[in-house]
Structure 1
């Protein structure tokens, strides 16, 4: 091993220059991993089962790489310089996530984040030593840059109509290709089409593009061979075009900031070349951006190969022109610049001149494009995005709200944090208004929430030390090959981390991998200041290797176990598509829970199975297992809303309505802006209060009525507060007095004699299709209730049909249609409950149409047994009456759905009246109930 020389002109310690077999194993393994990883939804840490397996495979690979490194380098490894201490300190990052497990609000998400952080630490250690070897460093740089260029072309293939080519290229190993198309490589939101490539999120793709735009310029200026100059300059236009197509305001804002910072690290001759190449590429990009934008929009709407070819032609021509021009600049200008500016370059202040000038130019360009009509040269969608860059537009205001709410969470979990996924689990409890964001849109605040002040100090100390030592080494050793190699990684880490102040880029595991590889590359280029004394002891050396190996083995075992569990859950889902066998579906779920006893999605699927069987058999063992499963999961996932709602489903089917109400009451502070949660709380409290009223239980009546009215007041106060939001800030989810809330809270006031208040509440909440019913003078009469019930069914049925059609034809859920159907059906069923409680001693029965509507809504929401009883009691002998025939049809369909013996007498009379009813009965019986 070559002996290092320390001092200002020292070179970092290197392992043998010839690549040994062990290094080739790690390099080849990394390259394969690098190709696979980004196409697994960018490895998004989305806390969903669909994203789990790729993440666990990644942690397996990271663990194996660390084990291979330890095996092959246990003889060579020494604590010889400060870089080795950084390899020791990186272990503190997963350690802080391990400590946060003790205070985690979601054990499942916290374990996932521990595994991810462990993988980052493993990659950092391996690459810290791998990148010290010159040839290995060159190979890895080339591999990363090649992948980045492929990702850019992958995105453009999807934009310019060749999505089938892109999907076919990665479909054999990617789980995000459906029917030959990569999902959401081009996404659509309120701004129109936005390019996302592999990330399915435009802002993160913008951060990626920003990093590799500057890497490409750096590689271009640094290239010695003509083909290197041509390749890197050829890619500048596709990267710039892609960046514009993301419509990311954050990317456009951070781009000049990062650019000016990076210029500070270049000598003046290179600063000028950077500016020249970027101006050339920018001019070519702006010249064709309108054409590329319009082509993408056109081929997204209509398959048009000729338009796609035209778009590709413009792009390739712009790339060729840019490449030729940049090559000429490098060939004929670079050398002259170097000679002319050679005298000024040694003075460090000389590096400031152009960055200061660039800042002025950037400011002027920003003013032209944002503050004047010059932006009209851009496509309309990009022009609109630029026009809206200000501190009063909604995305800025919403981010500021996220940040304030994040500090609220951090204040309550100050030392060890709330564990991995803490923001996703807790944000609804702390949110200022009803936005939906499982990400805080600021990586550093999200990190603070997850690991607390202790972990945040460790992390910030770690990255700031790496940046400080690298930059200090640059100042003292400008121009060395080690700094040049390190600057490649510096660009990647700096660009992504700075953009992550505004967004959740590092929730994409692939982006986190790039950052930690970047930090490792910077560390490898540090000044290798030697260590002395006990640091070189064999005990510390072998202890470090032992700890890292044991930790890697533990992560490996846990990850493999989780992969097995994930596969079992996937098997259960697949079986459920073609089989109704309880035992067949349950078997893989039980296997999955052996490895992860409280995995939320597995628990919910098995509990739902038990629920369905209990409803059919009334066998208590299924209810007991259902309850046991939920209790187990809620101990580790107390903020999981779906688990809590599933618990209320069990209580309802067991007729334990007070316990179901208690779930909503006890957890209302966790979901302060969830109007559906408050709908349920107000409605259930109203029902129980009416029951207590009828039973003359004054204490209980007061308790329930108070809860109902207090929750109603919470909604009213919330609505008033939302009026105070800045005009540019979006409210988020709907939050209003819904018809169901108005019906329930109004009834409480009507029962307690507050008739005027009750009428006022009805007028406030009966909006949309219910408006006509609000002003009637027969409120609370049977006739009024009958009309409410019929209207509720008529309002919800189209949404139910839309939901069922998409489910049956495409196998996809339509949450919006399902939610609208449920809301209206719940309204009708609550009206039925109120009128049937007979609290007003009304003798007039419901109309047949209203009773039929109730029966239909009960069947469509899964309460089939109750519906059958209700419909049977409403049947008459007049089968010439179309309403009676429809009652008979739904009654018989209900019997079929619960596998009860057919009522042959009713069936015969119905078929005698209309033979086509047989097919219609089967059609109703085949309808899927809303879950």
Structure 2
């Protein structure tokens, strides 16, 4: 068997065969798929109905394209050389994800990522064979460049206030455009405005821009046509400006690293040209960075044509200057350099000197921008971001924490991993502190978590082999600019390296770019002939048959998932406009028919059934809710919402012990969720108090132990958070809340730990309750009455001040206090006092518990309507009935109005108050 040919001979050999019309049709469809994907399939490692359908549609489209490829290439498909084996080896990647399904902690997310991986392999196989032909290779390279330049322009349109135009350009095919505006193309965080373009995440956009900055320089230097030189030179400033506007520190840190690695692959003349082009574009970009930042901030607040025109003038003017200079450099300097350095380039290690010098130059520039006042030439927000680049910066410390926690997951799921989405499901169990991050911020660690050591070895072996064989081939042969694959090498290397710091490959389009890059490298790699027994008819057609069967199976699953997702989306949309149970239920049932594990659809249906049961007390709704939840939990055991609904189901069934067990048995899954521990401690206290009243010592001790252990977990956690570096953000709130303090202190009081109980109250209730906590008569009826009254006063103040969180906190304290005193009075066979009934009822009404409020207020009523206090209770009681749309208590109303006719207006005033 003859060796593959490279360079000009290879080009001549490949161009002998004419490209057929069906193949051109496949190329066009492939490019259209590349255009569609970035505007449809965003961040896929999540659990939101709104974002799942594009995954399934893209899987379907890529599968159909792969079937077309098989139909066109089945006769040409051979296993003659090493690159042909890549097509076979690539199937191992989705197979490892399929294997991880057997141990997946979330079947739903694991299936979603299996769809994505299948799409990647379809793209890889198709690209590998299309790129073998030079003409198609050139077309696809230019298509990728055009798409990337459009994405850059799209982002800048949004930055300079032309979001209507930007939205109109893609709104006809993108679901991400709402109200004519692409969602979060410009995002806002604590650093101010950040450009994200189509990615809705600034750091991933920075990775994309870094890759295509170097691709643009490469295309500029290789271009033989004046219009190509001008086009690529013109785009350098928009790309660099966009990169600066992302405010991505990771992008700025990785930029010089990738640049130096790429320089090592170039000859000295081209190294110099790269440096010159980037230096000119960099200076021009820095010159307009300040005005572009200020104008973008202004235009995203209030659009004015003058400001927009000024912004475009800066951008287009700088770009035009750089384009002209770039053309002049390529026209006059490039030939001179090639001539002068031709002899030097043949020397051994000649390509090392400029990269080494660049390392020194980068270090000097970094020192000037980070360690000196030179950075003041940048806009204030960029200056601040650069100033904060250090190993003690909070995002660095947080990433280190993510990586340490990821290693904990890997130790527990070492072989096959935890399945796709494993980190998203498990991180709350393993996290060191209460951060919120559904991504590891390191692609390789996340991949290892998902598929374990087996899958990781397969993946690293696959990409490592391609990189090794590509670099080996690149260094050995004539570097024809279109056939040497360097275009694709830049893309794959840049994005993969940046993915050491972020979750870029959780964006499907970035993953597609990686696999196209790998395919392009595979085409150009050093490829030796295989033994003849690889290329037998049985092996070739056996592989194609297996590929066809696998593709058909994934197509079937995609169609089923699309149907299910469409039903789920329909149900979600109906929830905003319909109150009909049957109308809402029908699409949810359809969504769950083929995917009963769908967490969001299951949660919607179960929650709706529980609400209907609360209104009708019809047991069938509660039973259906219970069935739906338990079925979903078989495949989604770490889903917090489903577990909370299961606990609610038990509560509605009157099985408080089982509700408590759900919180107790799953507490370690959510170690830093203070709301989970608040609910667990509350339930422990209620059951311990009930067992104490029944003198059931064993049960009392069981619940006290569980509740006080949970409380100790909280206090230990609070102490642990004090050990975090001062620069590291804690994450979500985690402290002894007032309700935790009240319930934990009650359990300590039951256990005879009175001093500890007092200390706990002081720790959690705070200054607003200081006089109540310091009372000498803790835990008696009067003390509870004072506590509940204070909670109502504080909730009213918070409501007046529009402090929603404060209002909820004080209402919860009051409700918990009422539950405790009510249980105590029941044991003593004593009635609820009017003062407690009034304030507790008002608290319940403010909290939206209108039925409970009317019941509580009724307990405080007497027959003395001359008494102002009793009239107040009656007034609130009747208002609660009216708010609940319940039948009016006519005798009470008549007596109240007879005592004071003005009460009618006051009742209406309460009813009309929107808490």
Q: Which residue of 2 aligns with 1:682?
A: 681
Q: Distance in 2 between matches of 1:711 and 1:138?
A: 63
Q: Which residue of 1 aligns with 2:630?
A: 631
1:107 equivalent to 2:107? Answer yes
Q: Is the 8 A contact 1:600 1:643 kept in 2?
A: yes
Displacement of 1:845 in angstroms is 7.1
Q: Cα gap change, 1:779/1:492 in structure 2, threshold over 3 Å: closer, same or farther? A: same
CA displacement, residues 256-294 of structure 1 (integer Å, 9 cap, x when unaligned):
000000011111111101000000011011111111111
TM-score when normalising by structure 2? 0.95
Displacement of 1:837 in angstroms is 1.8
CA displacement, residues 517-573 of structure 1 (integer Å, 9 cap, x when unaligned):
111111111233222221111111111111111111111111111111111111112
Q: Cα gap change, 1:884/1:118 in structure 2, threshold over 3 Å: closer, same or farther? A: farther
CA displacement, residues 573-630 of structure 1 (integer Å, 9 cap, x when unaligned):
2222222221111111111111211111111111011101111111111111111111
Q: Distance in 1 between matches of 2:152 and 2:321?
A: 19
Q: Cα gap change, 1:355/1:885 in structure 2, threshold over 3 Å: closer, same or farther? A: farther
Q: Cα gap change, 1:891/1:653 in structure 2, threshold over 3 Å: closer, same or farther? A: farther
Displacement of 1:19 in angstroms is 2.4
2:812 to 826, 830, 833: 826
Q: Cα gap change, 1:98/1:874 in structure 2, threshold over 3 Å: closer, same or farther? A: same
Q: Distance in 2 between matches of 1:96 and 1:882?
A: 74
Give 1:331-370 correspondences, 5 Å limit.
Answer: 331-370=331-370
Displacement of 1:705 in angstroms is 1.1
Q: Distance in 2 between matches of 1:94 and 1:797?
A: 57
Q: Which residue of 2 aligns with 1:424?
A: 424
Q: Which residue of 2 aligns with 1:588?
A: 587
Q: Is the 8 A contact 1:41 1:199 kept in 2?
A: no
The more displaced of 676-685 and 40-49 is 40-49
Q: Which residue of 1 aligns with 2:257?
A: 257
Q: Distance in 1 between matches of 2:272 and 2:744?
A: 70
Q: Which residue of 2 aligns with 1:696?
A: 695
1:579 equivalent to 2:578? Answer yes
Q: Is the 8 A contact 1:889 1:920 kept in 2?
A: no
Give 1:390-429 correspondences, 5 Å limit.
Answer: 390-429=390-429
Q: Distance in 1 between matches of 2:123 and 2:689?
A: 62
The more displaced of 421-430 and 718-727 is 718-727
The more displaced of 849-858 and 599-608 is 849-858
Q: Is the 8 A contact 2:15 2:134 kept in 1?
A: no
Q: Cα gap change, 1:602/1:861 in structure 2, threshold over 3 Å: closer, same or farther? A: farther
Give 1:45-444 correspondences, 5 Å limit.
Answer: 45-444=45-444
Q: Is the 8 A contact 1:187 1:196 kept in 2?
A: yes
Partner SS, residue 836 of structure 1: helix
Displacement of 1:892 in angstroms is 4.3
Q: Distance in 2 between matches of 1:893 and 1:604?
A: 33
Q: Distance in 1 between matches of 2:83 and 2:204?
A: 30
Q: Cα gap change, 1:16/1:103 in structure 2, threshold over 3 Å: closer, same or farther? A: farther
Q: Distance in 2 between matches of 1:133 and 1:794?
A: 78
Q: Cα gap change, 1:568/1:799 in structure 2, threshold over 3 Å: closer, same or farther? A: farther
Q: Which residue of 2 aligns with 1:520?
A: 519
Q: Is the 8 A contact 1:82 1:528 kept in 2?
A: yes
Measured on the aligned residues, the alpha-carbon RMSD in Å equals: 2.5
The more displaced of 764-773 and 209-218 is 764-773
The more displaced of 338-347 and 772-781 is 772-781
Displacement of 1:633 in angstroms is 0.8
Partner SS, residue 530 of structure 1: coil
Q: Which residue of 2 aligns with 1:869?
A: 855
Displacement of 1:897 in angstroms is 5.9
Q: Cα gap change, 1:882/1:262 in structure 2, threshold over 3 Å: closer, same or farther? A: farther
Q: Is the 8 A contact 2:67 2:548 kept in 1?
A: yes
Partner SS, residue 838 of structure 1: helix
Partner SS, residue 87 of structure 2: helix
Q: Distance in 1 between matches of 2:418 and 2:215?
A: 36
Q: Cα gap change, 1:798/1:342 in structure 2, threshold over 3 Å: closer, same or farther? A: farther
The more displaced of 505-514 and 184-193 is 184-193
Displacement of 1:61 in angstroms is 0.9
Displacement of 1:38 in angstroms is 1.1
CA displacement, residues 407-446 of structure 1 (integer Å, 9 cap, x when unaligned):
1100111110000000000111111111111101100000
Q: Which residue of 2 aligns with 1:706?
A: 705
Displacement of 1:754 in angstroms is 2.1
Q: Distance in 1 between matches of 2:682 and 2:835?
A: 24
Q: Distance in 2 between matches of 1:879 and 1:351?
A: 98
The more displaced of 445-454 and 591-600 is 591-600
Q: Distance in 2 between matches of 1:542 and 1:710?
A: 63
The more displaced of 767-776 and 246-255 is 767-776
Displacement of 1:879 in angstroms is 7.3
Q: Which residue of 2 aligns with 1:806?
A: none
Displacement of 1:226 in angstroms is 0.8
Q: Distance in 1 between matches of 2:178 and 2:778?
A: 52
TM-score when normalising by structure 1? 0.93
Q: Is the 8 A contact 1:164 1:180 kept in 2?
A: yes
Q: Is the 8 A contact 2:50 2:569 kept in 1?
A: no
Q: Is the 8 A contact 1:892 1:921 kept in 2?
A: no
Q: Distance in 1 between matches of 2:285 and 2:449?
A: 41
1:913 equivalent to 2:899? Answer no
Partner SS, residue 259 of structure 1: helix
Q: Distance in 2 between matches of 1:879 and 1:210?
A: 77
Q: Cα gap change, 1:467/1:796 in structure 2, threshold over 3 Å: closer, same or farther? A: farther
Q: Is the 8 A contact 1:9 1:477 kept in 2?
A: no
Q: Distance in 1 between matches of 2:571 and 2:841?
A: 33
Give 1:691-840 correspondences, 5 Å limit.
Answer: 691-767=690-766, 769-771=768-770, 773-796=772-795, 821-838=807-824
Q: Cα gap change, 1:122/1:888 in structure 2, threshold over 3 Å: closer, same or farther? A: farther
Q: Which residue of 2 aligns with 1:811?
A: none
Q: Cα gap change, 1:920/1:570 in structure 2, threshold over 3 Å: closer, same or farther? A: farther
Displacement of 1:822 in angstroms is 4.4
- Where do 5+ consecutive residues of structure 1 fail to align? 804-816
Q: Distance in 1 between matches of 2:801 and 2:71?
A: 59
Q: Is the 8 A contact 1:428 1:673 kept in 2?
A: yes
Q: Distance in 2 between matches of 1:849 and 1:840?
A: 17
Partner SS, residue 730 of structure 1: coil
CA displacement, residues 143-187 of structure 1 (integer Å, 9 cap, x when unaligned):
111111111111111111112221222222222222222221111
Displacement of 1:5 in angstroms is 4.5
Q: Which residue of 1 aligns with 2:38?
A: 38
Q: Which residue of 2 aligns with 1:619?
A: 618
Alignment coverage as a number of residue pairs: 911
Q: Distance in 1 between matches of 2:761 and 2:36?
A: 57
- Where do 5+ consecutive residues of structure 2 fail to align? none
Q: Distance in 2 between matches of 1:650 and 1:305?
A: 57
Q: Which residue of 2 aligns with 1:810?
A: none
Q: Which residue of 1 aligns with 2:551?
A: 552
Q: Is the 8 A contact 1:783 1:846 kept in 2?
A: no
Partner SS, residue 502 of structure 2: coil
Give 1:898-909 correspondences, 5 Å limit.
Answer: 900-907=886-893
Q: Distance in 2 between matches of 1:903 and 1:684?
A: 34
Partner SS, residue 301 of structure 1: coil
The more displaced of 366-375 and 456-465 is 366-375
Displacement of 1:649 in angstroms is 1.1
Q: Distance in 1 between matches of 2:337 and 2:652?
A: 81
Displacement of 1:836 in angstroms is 1.4
The more displaced of 749-758 and 361-370 is 749-758
Q: Is the 8 A contact 1:120 1:516 kept in 2?
A: yes
Q: Is the 8 A contact 1:786 1:850 kept in 2?
A: yes
Q: Cα gap change, 1:305/1:68 in structure 2, threshold over 3 Å: closer, same or farther? A: same
CA displacement, residues 729-764 of structure 1 (integer Å, 9 cap, x when unaligned):
111111111111111111122233322211111111
Give 1:538-549 correspondences, 5 Å limit.
Answer: 538-549=537-548
